[in-house]
Amino acid sequence: MEVTKTGEEPVPSTKRHRPNTPITKGPSVDDFTPTSMTLDAFNQLSRNQKKKVLRQELWDQRSGEFREKQRAKRSVLRKRHKQRVKLGEVPAKRKLDEQERSGHSIIIDMDFDEKMHDTEIKSICSQLVRCYSTNRHGPQFVDLHITKLHERCRARFDKAIADHTEWPASRIMFHDTELLDVFGADKLVYLTADSPNEITELDTQKVYVVGGLVDKNRYKRLTLDKAEQMGVAHARLPIGQYVQMASRKVITVNQIFEILVKFVETGDWKRAFLEVIPQRKFNEGKSGGAKAVKDADGAAEGVEAEDTNEAEVSEEADDVSDRESSV
């Protein structure tokens, strides 16, 4: 066995790869010639900016091939699913006319484009796709509204989720106006973790606002301050009354939406929290798993939006579109 100069055995590498498979490296920024800008402009960028341009151009070149592979894979899965439906192993997917309108309204406020980084823009767009998917396939649906998409979110939707214009307006409605232009201030209740108020029920006469923001807790009181400036009511979800969370009380926009939809369906906050919030965010007892709160005398915590561990938005949008065509 090979030994080092110190007489110790070398530490084996933790990197794993298939035997007899050559490891190939992608192009380096040092010898890369961009197509989206001039070489002089590219050379003036920082190294990190060059890497960003490189990754984007490589994705643009390979995205078609990647999507075709994903579509082929999903086609196989759909055929397998249809076979399982025929055998009675899984229930059939719901059609639009099989869903029941709940009468509740939720609006996602997208007026935070300039507050997010590019990766967060991708994440919030992905979360909107998931909100639509939840509303499209549950036993009940809510009236889901999206306020005006600003520059980067609009560009992201037009490029990666272009078929969103074909989604049924009964399940998601995109507006070209801001929050107060869609509903009057007297009907709105802004959901924010910083609010001292706590909701116990959802009123069909009210419209509940979720801030369309991924900020990793950079902006304190942002949504509460906005609600107060607009003169609208505000409240937080009663998470602390029902469950204890091991990590910070931060969940994604689509998870907030799923919690609201689940509560509309079941009328049970505890069940909604436990079924939607990832188990890793709960305190664990000796036996593991979620820990429900037995004594709700303490102050309840609210929720804020955080980033998701997302795949490409385009892949998720394709998946939604494939499910649309299969029902």
- Positions annotated as catalytic residues are 215
For the record, the structure tokens of 314 come out as 């385009």
Rounded-to-integer distance, Cα 246 and Cα 241, Å? 15
Q: Which amino acid is at 161?
A: I
Rounded-to-integer distance, Cα 2 and Cα 244, Å? 52
- Could you tell me if 110 and 146 are in contact, meaning their C-beta atoms sit under 8 angstroms apart? yes
Q: For residues 141, 142, 145 and 146, what is the CA-based torsion angle, rounded to 10 degrees?
A: -60
The half-sphere exposure of 305 on its side-chain side, counting CA atoms within 13 A, is 31
Rounded-to-integer distance, Cα 310 and Cα 115, Å? 19
Q: What angle do CA 235, 241, 247 make, to 5 degrees?
A: 90
> CB under 8 Å to 203, separation ≥6 — which residues?
none
Rounded-to-integer distance, Cα 288 and Cα 56, Å? 42
- What residues pair up with 105 in beta bridges, in sequence order? 143, 207
Q: What are the backbone dihedrals phi and psi of residue 51, each rounded to the nearest 5 degrees, phi first?
A: -65, -40
